[in-house]
Each structure stands twice: as C-alpha cells, then as structure tokens.
C-alpha cells in the first residue's frame, strides 16, 4: 500500500525539498500551500516528472476552521495520512520591546497553532493502523534563542514541547513523533544573513541545503526510525 504524507509549507524551500525526497521513497505527497499555489505546483510537477505522486492542498493553517474543513474532506475521501511533516512557518522579526501583538500572533498562529490544527484531525487513523510518523521543523533558535526573534523562537520551542508530549502519548501505538532543528539553511528566510555571521556561528563554516534537511526528514518518516521518538535532531552544521 502506498503511504501518504502531508507536508505543510510545501511551497517553501525546506518543505518542497522534503516533499520531493519523500516522493522518491514512493510516498504519495500532499503539498500544502497558502498563497503560492504556482510554486507548490512546480514542486508537484517535479515530483510527477520523476515518476512520483503529488497532490496540492491549499488552506490557511493558522485557522482551525479552515484546516479542519480541508483535512476532514481528505479523511472522508479515505485519504488519511500516514505521515505529517509540519514545515510551515513564518518569521516577522523585531526586538520584543518594539514588537506589536500582530507580529507575535501571526508567527505563533502559523508555526505552533498550525501544528495543532493539522496534526489533531489526522492522528486517529494513524492510531488505528498502529503506524504513523509526525515530524516538525523547528529551529536552533528554539534551542538557543535569537535577538529579534522572540516570537519565532517561542513558536519553534513550543513545537518541541508539543512533539515530545505527543511522542509519549502515541509511543505504544506505533506512531513516532520527532523534531528537526535546522540552523542556517539556504532559503529565502536566511538569504540576507552576512557570510561572516554564518562563518562565526557554524562549525562547518557554511549554510546547509534544504536537501540535507530533507534527508533527515526522510529517515524519520521511514520504517528505519521505528525506535526513535520524542527526539530533536540538530541539523545545523555544528551550532551547539
């Protein structure tokens, strides 16, 4: 039976790379997007061109109602997911003293509340089948903090706490829940970071690639990760 995966933020750099990598393992990937359908379609076309299966799913992950409507329709159509990769996230940086409520809430609603909005409706089929994988994309900012990113770090740290709690709840049901904490990855979000900052912070003296994150995600979503749950894998080139 072909396994199915929902990748939130699948139109972004890391999400797209994970979607393509899972498809190479024979997974039917559902690529979630909000505003950038064209970019999500490009990812889907690359997957199909390589012989894989991909579908698109657009909804606002920050909304419980919108998420539930989209995901209930999937489950009702017998398209329950075996794998959830929560890669959706945004940054809206400012020092906390100058941050407004909207900046705080937008980041929390997408990165942290979005995890609940997507994961909650899709868990029961995994439990019934006694197999499932949930992987969240956090950040080294969750582990160390970062100036101007109190909202982002809080959201990403919340993913770790939520994932570890869920891992304990589902460990006996064959559902493994883990977190990846990337460092500086070659995406639009880090494009403006000066090379000297990367050189000073990263032991490997370079940014990582979305494909390097995707390789770790693919392992966590595989049968080979069946005894790994509740963990946080630091994929940062040595930001310790």
- How many Cα atoms occupy the beta-carbon half-sphere of 203 within 13 Å? 7
- Judged on CB neighbours under 10 Å (0-12, 13-18, 19+), 46 is middle
Task: Give bridge partners of residue 200 from the DSSP assignment.
Answer: none
Give pairs for 94-102: CB < 8 Å, separation 24+: 94/148, 95/147, 95/148, 96/150, 99/150, 99/151
List 4, 152, 183, 213, catalytic entry: 152
Q: Is 152 a catalytic residue?
A: yes
Cα 162 to Cα 115: distance, rounded to the nearest angstrom: 9
Identify whether the C-beta of residue 150 lies closer than 8 Å to the C-beta of residue 107. no
Q: Give SS3 for 36.
A: coil
Identify whether the C-beta of residue 47 lies closer than 8 Å to the C-beta of residue 126. no
What angle (nearest 5°) sits at the alpha carbon of residue 81, between those of residues 213 and 159?
50
Please identify every residue annotated as catalytic.
Answer: 152
């Amino acid at each position: 039976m072909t396994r199915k995966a929902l990748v939130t933020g699948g139109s972004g750099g890391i999400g797209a790379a994970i979607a393509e990598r899972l498809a190479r393992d024979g997974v039917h990937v559902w690529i979630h997007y909000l505003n950038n359908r064209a970019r999500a379609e490009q990812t889907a076309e690359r997957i199909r061109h390589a012989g894989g299966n991909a579908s698109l799913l657009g909804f606002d992950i920050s909304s419980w109602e919108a998420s539930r409507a989209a995901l209930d329709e999937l489950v009702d159509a017998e398209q329950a997911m075996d794998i959830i990769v929560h890669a959706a996230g945004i940054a809206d940086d400012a020092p906390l003293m100058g941050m407004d409520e909207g900046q705080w809430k937008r980041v929390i609603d997408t990165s942290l509340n979005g995890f609940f909005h997507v994961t909650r409706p899709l868990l029961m089929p995994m439990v019934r089948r006694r197999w499932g994988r949930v992987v969240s994309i956090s950040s080294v900012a969750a582990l160390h903090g970062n100036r101007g990113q109190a909202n982002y770090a809080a959201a990403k740290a919340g993913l770790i706490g939520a994932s570890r709690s869920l891992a304990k709840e589902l460990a006996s049901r064959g559902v493994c829940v883990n977190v990846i904490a990337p460092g500086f990855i070659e995406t639009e979000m880090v494009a403006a970071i000066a090379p000297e900052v990367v050189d000073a912070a990263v032991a490997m003296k370079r940014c990582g690639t979305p494909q390097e994150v995707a390789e770790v995600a693919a392992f966590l979503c595989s049968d080979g990760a069946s005894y790994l749950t509740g963990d946080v894998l630091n994929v940062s080139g040595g930001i310790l």
